[in-house]
């Protein structure tokens, strides 16, 4: 009984642990459950009022519980605020587009070649629709079916194509492409064969250094190990899953060790 009282006293004296825990739980709930905003805000208002009343009546235990619930709801609201696009000029407001549009943006991921197509992500800056140029923002997942064009991370490019929304899972338990992209801040897709580099040399110097380091590691692995051992090591260390030969990929899947190779999003 004495130990239980000591634990409760410690919890009340150091509420930061409980507040942190409930905030994390709120973020997790926000990720997996879609709750309407109005009940969340009403719940926060009621709990704030309740916590204030309990504080005035000097009921520490009740005040602490109310604060923990408030923190839980704040965690949910925080996730929704960070996760969903809120800007009025966000690129998702232009999708899906019936006609082709022109988008200018900065490449924020290194382009990856797969099945004769290049996949990369841009941070949109401008959109030209029906001859009108507008400022915009938000990330776009781009698939270019003309792989001979030369552009890289940090370049400002001009694209032309139709914007579309990523497909959601068609059945329960299936892979949800829309959710997968949205967790990375990507809400729009664009397929194009027209990519023009307008300006180079942008991007973060730190990320550029990371890409150069990765290229150096690839060269070392390829010069040190023969195939297919070099493919396996690149897949495990660098997430270069696409370089694995079909036979090696099948072996990973058959033995249940496919998780050893991380998925890399270009």
pLDDT, residue 87, reads 85
* pLDDT at position 105: 95
- Tell me which long-range contacts 118-124 makes (C-beta under 8 A, separation of at least 24): 118/143, 118/144, 118/146, 118/147, 118/149, 119/143, 119/144, 119/266, 120/144, 120/266, 121/184, 121/186, 121/265, 121/266, 122/157, 122/159, 124/91
- pLDDT of the residue at 256: 54
CA distance 242 to 199: 29
> Residues of the chain whose pLDDT is less than 50?
1-2, 4, 7-11, 258-261, 263-266
Check residue 134 and give its pLDDT.
93
Summary count for the chain: helices (H), strands (E): 8, 7
Q: Are 203 and 162 in contact (CB under 8 A)?
A: no
- The pLDDT tens digits of the residues spanning 169-192 come to 888 777 888 888 998 899 999 998
**pLDDT of the residue at 162:** 92
Query: How far is the CA of 107 from the CAs of 124, 158, 210, in angstroms?
Result: 9, 10, 16
Report the alpha-carbon distance of residue 161 to residue 192 in Å, rounded. Answer: 5
Query: Model-level pTM?
Result: 0.72
């Amino acid at each position: 009984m004495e130990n239980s009282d000591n634990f409760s006293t410690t919890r009340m004296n150091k509420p930061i642990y409980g507040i942190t825990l409930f905030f994390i739980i709120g973020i997790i709930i926000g990720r997996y459950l879609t709750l309407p905003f109005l009940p969340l805000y009403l719940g926060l208002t009621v709990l704030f009022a309740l916590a204030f009343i309990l504080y005035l009546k000097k009921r520490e235990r009740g005040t602490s519980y109310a604060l923990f619930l408030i923190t839980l709801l704040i965690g949910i609201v925080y996730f929704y605020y960070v996760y969903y696009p809120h800007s009025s000029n966000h690129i998702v407001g232009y999708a899906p587009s019936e006609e082709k549009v022109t988008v200018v943006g900065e490449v924020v991921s290194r382009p990856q070649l797969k099945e004769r197509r290049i996949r990369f992500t841009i941070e949109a800056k401008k959109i030209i629709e029906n001859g009108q140029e507008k400022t915009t923002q938000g990330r776009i997942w781009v698939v270019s079916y003309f792989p001979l064009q030369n552009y890289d991370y940090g370049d400002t490019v001009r694209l032309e194509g139709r914007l579309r929304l990523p497909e959601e899972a068609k059945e329960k338990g299936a892979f949800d492409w829309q959710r997968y992209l949205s967790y990375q801040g990507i809400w729009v897709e664009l397929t194009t064969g027209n990519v023009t580099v307008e300006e180079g040399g942008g991007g973060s110097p730190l990320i550029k250094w990371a890409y150069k380091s990765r290229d150096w590691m690839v060269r070392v692995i390829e010069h040190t190990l023969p195939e297919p051992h070099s493919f396996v090591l690149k897949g495990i260390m660098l997430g270069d899953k696409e370089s694995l030969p079909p036979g090696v990929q099948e072996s990973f899947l058959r033995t249940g060790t496919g998780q050893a190779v991380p998925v890399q999003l270009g």
